Each structure stands twice: as structure tokens, then as C-alpha cells.
Amino acid sequence: MKNIKNIAVFVSGTGSNFIAIYNQIKKGNINGRIALLITDNPNAKAISFAKDNNIKIQIIDSKIISNNITHEDFLLKILNSVSSDLIVLAGYLKMIPSKVISQYKNKIINIHPSLLPKFGGKGFYGMKVHQAVIKSRESFAGASVHFVDEVYDNGPIIKQEKIEVLNSDTPETISKKVLKIEHKILPYIVRKFCLDQIIFENNLPLIIGENEW
């Protein structure tokens, strides 16, 4: 396979999306490698998975930031140190500094558990999203993968997938169904990115090539 892409993954919690990407790489479905796992949470469960699978880990420690380097310059230093080709925000709760976004323009993607732009932006994360979907009596729920820009959950959408909301659904049942969609569409978009099959047409992302795994 030609030039394998270096992927940096940001997590804050369980990391099931991170693991879903890792598993597709193992199956040979993604022309990339997870070069670095970055987290702001030293207790993130994703860390033990990374350790067990020899994935390099960088915990963003407030001490490092305050003493001798700014947050954005620290992020740039570690991202550049692994020659990152793609940055994946997989349940990362912090904002990415604009200096990083501009240096990695159209190379940072995020997974969000709603059909953006609905139920996106500040305060919409985790179960709060699904509670809002149920409260608003939406007919559909789903997940979105989008490029990251300076505004939370706002960048151009690359792919979305939806499921019907049943009368019997609760935020918990929706959360489970949406997470299944996430574990499908995020690795799929990572695959297409690593194949250079996400292009821009009229400033909008366009997936080209085969639509299969």
C-alpha cells in the first residue's frame, strides 16, 4: 500500500470510536496507523487499550502547559513530532486551538452523536444530546462526521447516518443505536481520507471512489 497515513487520535473518555478505528486498521481496511493517542484525561479508559496495543500516548498535562509552552504550541509540537496526516477527535471534549486548526486545515475530523447542525455546539455532548433528541420528539437521530473549524461542531459535514426514533426509545436506547452508527461511519471516513478519496467541490467535502469497505 502506498504512503501509510499517520493518524493522531484525541479522546477524553472510553475511546470506543478510537478502538473501532484501530480494529479496522488491524483488518487492513485503513491505509493508516495510529501514531499517537492524545488525551486531556489521565483516567481515560482509552489509555489502557493504547498501552496494551503499543500505541504512543500523550497526556496533556496542565503542568506542561503552564510552565514553559502554550497549549497550542505544545499540541503542534506533538502533532508534528509524529508527522500527523490526519487528526481525529473521537470523544474529545476540549476545543482545538485555532492555531492548530489553521495548520491542519481540512485534516481534523470530529464525530458527533447527532444529525448536525441539530443538537450540536456548546453543552451538547454525551447523553445531553440524546436527551434533547427525545425531548424534541425528533423523528430521527444519528451521527455526523465533519471537518473541524473554529466553531464547536460546526465545520463542513462529510458524512451522516440516521436512525428512526421509536416511541419506545429513551436517551439510553438512542445512545446505543447512535454509537453503533459512529463505529461504522468514523472508521469509514478515516479509510476514505487515507485513500485520498475525500475531496472538496465548491468548498464542500465530497467522498469519491467505491462506497464499500
Q: Which residues bind ligand GRF (CB under 6 A)?
A: 11, 13-17, 90-91, 111-113, 179, 182
Name which of 14 and 29 has its Cβ closer to ligand GRF: 14
Cell of 197: 478519496
In the complex, least distance from residue 209 CB atom to ligand GRF, rounded to whole angstroms: 25
In the complex, least distance from residue 93 CB atom to ligand GRF, rounded to whole angstroms: 8
Query: How far is 169 from 173, CA to CA, in rounded Å?
Result: 6
Question: Is 183 among the residues known to form the active site?
Answer: no
Query: How far is 77 from 84, CA to CA, in rounded Å?
Result: 11
Alpha-helix runs per DSSP H in 37-170: 46-52, 62-68, 71-81, 98-103, 127-135
In the complex, least distance from residue 17 CB atom to ligand GRF, rounded to whole angstroms: 3
Q: Go through 47-60 and write b for each residue having 16 or more CB atoms within 10 A of its CB, e for each that does not.
A: bebbeeeebeebeb
Cell of 127: 447523553
Name which of 13 and 155 has its Cβ closer to ligand GRF: 13
Q: Cβ-closest residue to ligand GRF?
A: 91
Name the catalytic one among 112, 130, 146, 183: 112
Name which of 121 and 196 has its Cβ closer to ligand GRF: 121
Residues labelled catalytic: 112
